[in-house]
Amino acid sequence: GQQVMQIPQYQHVQEGEDFTTYCNSSTTLSNIQWYKQRPGGHPVFLIQLVKSGEVKKQKRLTFQFGEAKKNSSLHITATQTTDVGTYFCAGLDNYGQNFVFGPGTRLSVLP
Amino acid sequence: DVKVTQSSRYLVKRTGEKVFLECVQDMDHENMFWYRQDPGLGLRLIYFSYDVKMKEKGDIPEGYSVSREKKERFSLILESASTNQTSMYLCASSSYGTSGGYTDTQYFGPGTRLTVL
Protein backbone atom coordinates (compact mmCIF):
# COMPACT_ATOMS: atom_id res chain seq x y z
CA GLY A 1 0.00 0.00 0.00
CA GLN A 2 0.88 3.65 -0.15
CA GLN A 3 3.61 4.74 2.28
CA VAL A 4 4.66 8.23 3.26
CA MET A 5 7.99 8.77 4.98
CA GLN A 6 9.47 11.86 6.56
CA ILE A 7 13.03 12.77 7.45
CA PRO A 8 14.41 13.63 9.85
CA GLN A 9 12.38 12.19 12.70
CA TYR A 10 13.75 14.80 15.12
CA GLN A 11 15.56 18.08 14.61
CA HIS A 12 17.05 20.37 17.22
CA VAL A 13 18.05 23.84 16.04
CA GLN A 14 19.24 27.04 17.64
CA GLU A 15 16.81 29.91 17.35
CA GLY A 16 17.54 31.79 14.14
CA GLU A 17 18.79 28.74 12.24
CA ASP A 18 16.94 27.34 9.26
CA PHE A 19 15.06 24.03 9.26
CA THR A 20 13.91 21.66 6.52
CA THR A 21 11.81 18.52 6.66
CA TYR A 22 11.37 16.18 3.72
CA CYS A 23 8.39 14.04 2.81
CA ASN A 24 8.61 11.09 0.40
CA SER A 25 5.80 8.95 -0.95
CA SER A 26 6.05 5.46 -2.41
CA THR A 27 3.42 6.41 -5.00
CA THR A 28 2.57 9.46 -7.09
CA LEU A 29 0.34 11.87 -5.22
CA SER A 30 -2.68 13.85 -6.31
CA ASN A 31 -1.98 16.45 -3.66
CA ILE A 32 -0.08 16.87 -0.44
CA GLN A 33 -1.03 18.64 2.75
CA TRP A 34 1.09 19.87 5.64
CA TYR A 35 -0.03 20.05 9.24
CA LYS A 36 1.57 21.36 12.43
CA GLN A 37 0.94 19.93 15.88
CA ARG A 38 2.11 21.94 18.87
CA PRO A 39 3.10 20.00 21.99
CA GLY A 40 -0.09 18.91 23.74
CA GLY A 41 -2.20 20.10 20.83
CA HIS A 42 -3.85 18.64 17.77
CA PRO A 43 -2.77 18.81 14.11
CA VAL A 44 -3.63 22.06 12.39
CA PHE A 45 -3.73 22.43 8.63
CA LEU A 46 -1.01 24.62 7.13
CA ILE A 47 -1.23 24.28 3.36
CA GLN A 48 -2.12 22.09 0.40
CA LEU A 49 -0.04 21.68 -2.76
CA VAL A 50 -1.56 20.29 -5.92
CA LYS A 51 0.57 21.11 -8.95
CA SER A 52 3.87 19.51 -9.97
CA GLY A 53 6.77 21.74 -8.93
CA GLU A 54 4.49 24.05 -6.96
CA VAL A 55 6.07 26.37 -4.40
CA LYS A 56 4.05 28.25 -1.81
CA LYS A 57 5.18 30.60 0.92
CA GLN A 58 3.66 31.55 4.24
CA LYS A 59 5.88 34.20 5.86
CA ARG A 60 9.00 32.26 6.92
CA LEU A 61 7.65 28.89 5.70
CA THR A 62 8.28 27.65 2.16
CA PHE A 63 6.51 24.54 0.86
CA GLN A 64 7.51 22.70 -2.27
CA PHE A 65 5.94 19.86 -4.25
CA GLY A 66 8.33 17.80 -6.34
CA GLU A 67 8.18 17.65 -10.12
CA ALA A 68 7.28 13.95 -10.00
CA LYS A 69 4.66 14.61 -7.29
CA LYS A 70 6.23 11.99 -5.03
CA ASN A 71 8.01 14.26 -2.60
CA SER A 72 7.63 17.52 -0.81
CA SER A 73 9.56 19.74 1.56
CA LEU A 74 8.89 22.35 4.21
CA HIS A 75 11.59 24.90 4.89
CA ILE A 76 11.50 27.35 7.78
CA THR A 77 13.82 30.35 7.62
CA ALA A 78 15.22 31.79 10.84
CA THR A 79 13.33 29.56 13.25
CA GLN A 80 11.62 30.99 16.30
CA THR A 81 10.53 29.29 19.51
CA THR A 82 6.94 29.49 18.26
CA ASP A 83 7.89 27.06 15.47
CA VAL A 84 8.29 24.22 17.99
CA GLY A 85 6.09 21.22 17.24
CA THR A 86 5.68 18.24 14.98
CA TYR A 87 5.21 18.79 11.27
CA PHE A 88 3.26 16.18 9.35
CA CYS A 89 2.84 15.77 5.64
CA ALA A 90 -0.18 13.87 4.33
CA GLY A 91 -0.59 12.67 0.77
CA LEU A 92 -3.60 11.74 -1.32
CA ASP A 93 -2.81 9.07 -3.90
CA ASN A 94 -3.43 9.60 -7.58
CA TYR A 95 -6.65 7.62 -7.48
CA GLY A 96 -7.99 9.96 -4.84
CA GLN A 97 -8.71 7.09 -2.52
CA ASN A 98 -5.90 6.78 -0.01
CA PHE A 99 -4.94 9.66 2.25
CA VAL A 100 -1.91 8.81 4.37
CA PHE A 101 -0.04 10.79 7.00
CA GLY A 102 3.72 10.65 7.35
CA PRO A 103 5.19 9.91 10.81
CA GLY A 104 6.10 13.56 11.35
CA THR A 105 9.25 15.55 12.11
CA ARG A 106 9.52 16.91 15.64
CA LEU A 107 11.24 20.29 15.74
CA SER A 108 12.85 21.70 18.89
CA VAL A 109 14.11 25.28 18.90
CA LEU A 110 16.63 26.26 21.54
CA PRO A 111 16.49 29.92 22.58
CA ASP B 1 -14.49 28.63 12.52
CA VAL B 2 -14.78 24.89 12.23
CA LYS B 3 -15.26 23.24 15.54
CA VAL B 4 -14.62 19.56 16.17
CA THR B 5 -15.26 18.41 19.70
CA GLN B 6 -14.53 15.10 21.38
CA SER B 7 -16.42 13.77 24.38
CA SER B 8 -13.46 13.41 26.73
CA ARG B 9 -9.88 14.69 26.92
CA TYR B 10 -8.74 11.87 29.20
CA LEU B 11 -10.25 8.44 29.78
CA VAL B 12 -9.13 5.49 31.89
CA LYS B 13 -10.74 2.11 31.32
CA ARG B 14 -10.10 -1.48 32.32
CA THR B 15 -9.25 -4.37 30.02
CA GLY B 16 -12.39 -5.90 28.57
CA GLU B 17 -14.58 -2.83 29.03
CA LYS B 18 -16.62 -1.43 26.16
CA VAL B 19 -15.47 2.08 25.33
CA PHE B 20 -17.30 4.79 23.38
CA LEU B 21 -15.50 7.81 22.00
CA GLU B 22 -17.71 10.48 20.49
CA CYS B 23 -16.90 13.22 18.01
CA VAL B 24 -19.10 16.09 16.87
CA GLN B 25 -18.44 18.64 14.12
CA ASP B 26 -20.43 21.77 13.38
CA MET B 27 -19.47 22.50 9.77
CA ASP B 28 -21.79 20.12 7.94
CA HIS B 29 -18.76 18.19 6.67
CA GLU B 30 -19.41 15.02 4.72
CA ASN B 31 -16.25 13.20 5.84
CA MET B 32 -15.30 12.22 9.36
CA PHE B 33 -12.23 10.28 10.48
CA TRP B 34 -10.85 8.48 13.49
CA TYR B 35 -7.07 8.26 13.93
CA ARG B 36 -4.84 6.99 16.68
CA GLN B 37 -1.54 8.67 17.36
CA ASP B 38 1.39 6.86 18.92
CA PRO B 39 4.97 8.12 19.38
CA GLY B 40 7.08 7.52 16.29
CA LEU B 41 4.13 6.16 14.29
CA GLY B 42 2.37 9.39 13.41
CA LEU B 43 -1.33 9.35 12.67
CA ARG B 44 -2.86 6.05 11.64
CA LEU B 45 -6.34 5.91 10.19
CA ILE B 46 -8.74 3.56 11.96
CA TYR B 47 -12.00 4.24 10.11
CA PHE B 48 -13.56 7.01 8.11
CA SER B 49 -17.06 7.85 7.00
CA TYR B 50 -18.04 9.80 3.90
CA ASP B 51 -21.74 9.97 4.63
CA VAL B 52 -24.34 9.05 7.22
CA LYS B 53 -24.37 5.31 7.87
CA MET B 54 -21.38 4.84 5.53
CA LYS B 55 -18.02 3.69 6.78
CA GLU B 56 -14.73 2.52 5.35
CA LYS B 57 -11.89 0.71 7.07
CA GLY B 58 -8.62 2.51 7.41
CA ASP B 59 -5.20 1.03 8.01
CA ILE B 60 -5.82 -0.41 11.49
CA PRO B 61 -9.53 -1.23 11.99
CA GLU B 62 -9.01 -4.41 14.04
CA GLY B 63 -10.54 -4.17 17.49
CA TYR B 64 -12.61 -1.09 16.60
CA SER B 65 -16.01 -0.33 15.15
CA VAL B 66 -17.72 2.95 14.28
CA SER B 67 -21.16 4.42 14.02
CA ARG B 68 -22.46 7.41 12.09
CA GLU B 69 -26.19 7.82 12.58
CA LYS B 70 -26.16 11.61 12.13
CA LYS B 71 -24.02 13.72 9.84
CA GLU B 72 -22.43 15.71 12.64
CA ARG B 73 -21.57 12.80 14.91
CA PHE B 74 -19.07 9.96 14.49
CA SER B 75 -18.50 7.42 17.26
CA LEU B 76 -15.58 5.08 17.75
CA ILE B 77 -16.29 1.91 19.73
CA LEU B 78 -13.82 -0.41 21.38
CA GLU B 79 -15.88 -3.56 21.94
CA SER B 80 -13.45 -5.04 24.47
CA ALA B 81 -10.62 -2.69 25.34
CA SER B 82 -7.11 -4.06 25.52
CA THR B 83 -3.89 -2.54 26.85
CA ASN B 84 -2.47 -2.17 23.33
CA GLN B 85 -5.30 0.26 22.59
CA THR B 86 -3.85 2.76 25.04
CA SER B 87 -3.24 5.76 22.79
CA MET B 88 -4.25 9.26 21.77
CA TYR B 89 -7.38 9.18 19.61
CA LEU B 90 -8.00 12.04 17.22
CA CYS B 91 -11.18 12.75 15.33
CA ALA B 92 -11.20 14.88 12.17
CA SER B 93 -13.72 16.13 9.66
CA SER B 94 -13.50 17.51 6.15
CA SER B 95 -15.58 18.37 3.15
CA TYR B 96 -15.19 16.48 -0.09
CA GLY B 97 -12.01 17.29 -1.98
CA THR B 98 -12.04 20.30 -4.24
CA SER B 99 -8.94 19.23 -6.17
CA GLY B 100 -9.98 15.68 -6.76
CA GLY B 101 -10.13 12.87 -4.26
CA TYR B 102 -12.40 12.40 -1.33
CA THR B 103 -10.94 14.77 1.24
CA ASP B 104 -10.12 18.43 1.55
CA THR B 105 -8.47 20.08 4.56
CA GLN B 106 -8.99 18.01 7.69
CA TYR B 107 -9.98 19.75 10.91
CA PHE B 108 -9.01 17.93 14.06
CA GLY B 109 -10.58 17.72 17.49
CA PRO B 110 -8.50 18.13 20.67
CA GLY B 111 -7.99 14.39 21.08
CA THR B 112 -8.86 11.82 23.73
CA ARG B 113 -6.01 10.22 25.63
CA LEU B 114 -7.24 6.73 26.47
CA THR B 115 -5.46 4.55 29.00
CA VAL B 116 -6.48 0.90 29.28
CA LEU B 117 -5.34 -0.77 32.49
Structure confidence at residue A73 (pLDDT):
98
Q: Are A10 and A106 in contact (CB under 8 A)?
A: yes
Is A99 in Cβ contact with B103 (below 8 Å)? yes
Q: Taking CB atoms and an 8 Å cut-off, how many pairs form between chains A and B?
A: 62
Structure confidence at residue B103 (pLDDT):
66
| Min Cα–Cα distance to chain B from A41, Å | 7
Structure confidence at residue B86 (pLDDT):
98
DSSP characters over A48-78: EE-STT-EEEETTEEEEE-TTSSEEEEEESS
Using CA atoms, how far apart are residues B115 and B108, in angstroms rounded to an integer?
A: 20
Structure confidence at residue A65 (pLDDT):
97
Mean pLDDT over each residue of chain A, to the nearest integer: 93
Mutation target to probe the B interface, by most B beta carbons within 10 A, among A99, A100, A105 is A99
Which residues of chain B lie closer than 8 angstroms to A24, CB-CB?
Answer: none
Structure confidence at residue A92 (pLDDT):
84
Q: Are B47 and B57 in contact (CB under 8 A)?
A: yes
Mean pLDDT of A22-45: 94
pLDDT in tens, B78-115: 999 999 999 999 999 998 765 545 567 899 999 999 99
Instruction: Label residues A39-73 b or e (16+ Cβ within 10 Å = b).
Output: eeebbebbbbbbeeebebeeeebebbbbeebbbbb
DSSP characters over A79-93: --GGG-EEEEEEEEE
Is B42 in Cβ contact with A101 (below 8 Å)? yes
**Residue A95 predicted with pLDDT over 80:** no
Which residues of chain B lie closer than 8 angstroms to A100, CB-CB?
Answer: 45, 59
Kindly identify which residue of chain A lies nearest to residue B92, measuring between CA atoms: A43
